[in-house]
Amino acid sequence: MSDVEIHRIADLKKMKKPLVVIGFPGTGLVGSVAASQLVESMQLSFGGYISSSDFAPLAAIHNYKPLPAARIHYSEKQNMIVIISEMTIPVGSSMDLADKIYEFARSVDASSIISLGGISLKEEKGGEVYVISSDPRMVKDIVAKRIAKPIKEGATTGVTGLLLTKGTLDCFPVTTILAEASEEYLDPKAASNVLRAFARIINVPINTTSLEREAKEVSKTIKESVIKAKLSKSKGPPSEEGGTMYG
């Protein structure tokens, strides 16, 4: 039995119909990276955290400060609440967490929920952004502005999928923006793509310069790894290499 709890350390009820944004790990870690960049670029305040006995025992460290891996940030100025997780959500907690997030969004009288994430590459070059929503008008508007492409058939899983279903059943706007991303490594370029699409949807500028810079570094690292792999194949058994950590 899951025991997910949302703990508030700020009075979020003062906000007027805020937008609730969700960024969880998934393909290319796009959701977590995009939400983290959103928090940093808009200088959102720490407003609470999410706990469960099923969650991994870890803390996220940002600017030398340890924080809960699953937490809430907010800005009264931007009228926005961001729920971010930097750890994988256990399958057994997904339904309970989706319920708690949905109840939380309704309790603050949220205008809508928008989830940011990644989707597996359909083409080698990637770069496409897609939209799924419980609100057909939202999809129509986003597609008309050429911000993202609609998804006619498929499936989306986890907390995001459950929230989309809840939104459809309750006629409440829940939207997911998905950028094509690699399944094999952290993809800051995809995170930048999803954030730029999100910025156009809410009509607010979001700085993605650091993500673009990190994307170039990742691309360089991948190219070097491919070259080393080719050389090792031609010279014999590969030597052991260390991994790369982003911090």
Query: 30-69, pLDDT tens digit by residue?
Result: 999 999 999 988 999 999 999 999 998 989 888 888 999 9
Fold of 5-235: Rossmann fold (3.40.50)
| Cβ neighbours around 31 below 10 Å, total | 32
Alpha-carbon torsion (93, 158, 166, 138), positive or negative: positive
Q: How many CA atoms lie within 13 A of 216 on its CB side?
A: 5
Of 126, 163, 94, residue with least CA distance to 27: 126
Apex 42 CA angle, 36 and 47, nearest 5: 70
Give the number of other CB atoms < 10 A from CB of residue 57.
7
pLDDT of residue 208: 81
Instruction: Round to whole Å and give the CA distance between 49 and 116.
Output: 19
- Domain spans of the chain, in order of start: 5-235
| Tens-place pLDDT, residues 118-140 | 998 665 666 899 999 999 999 99
Model pTM score? 0.85
pLDDT band of 230, cuts 50, 70, 90: very low
211 vs 34, higher pLDDT: 34
pLDDT surpassing 70 at residue 226: no
Q: What mean pLDDT do residues 18-32 have?
A: 93
**pLDDT over threshold 80, residue 247:** no
- pLDDT of 102 higher than 80: yes
- Flag whether pLDDT at 238 surpasses 50: no
Phi/psi for 36 (5° steps) reads -65, -40
pLDDT band at 93 (very low <50, low <70, confident <90, very high): very high
Strand (E) or helix (H) holding 117? strand 112-120
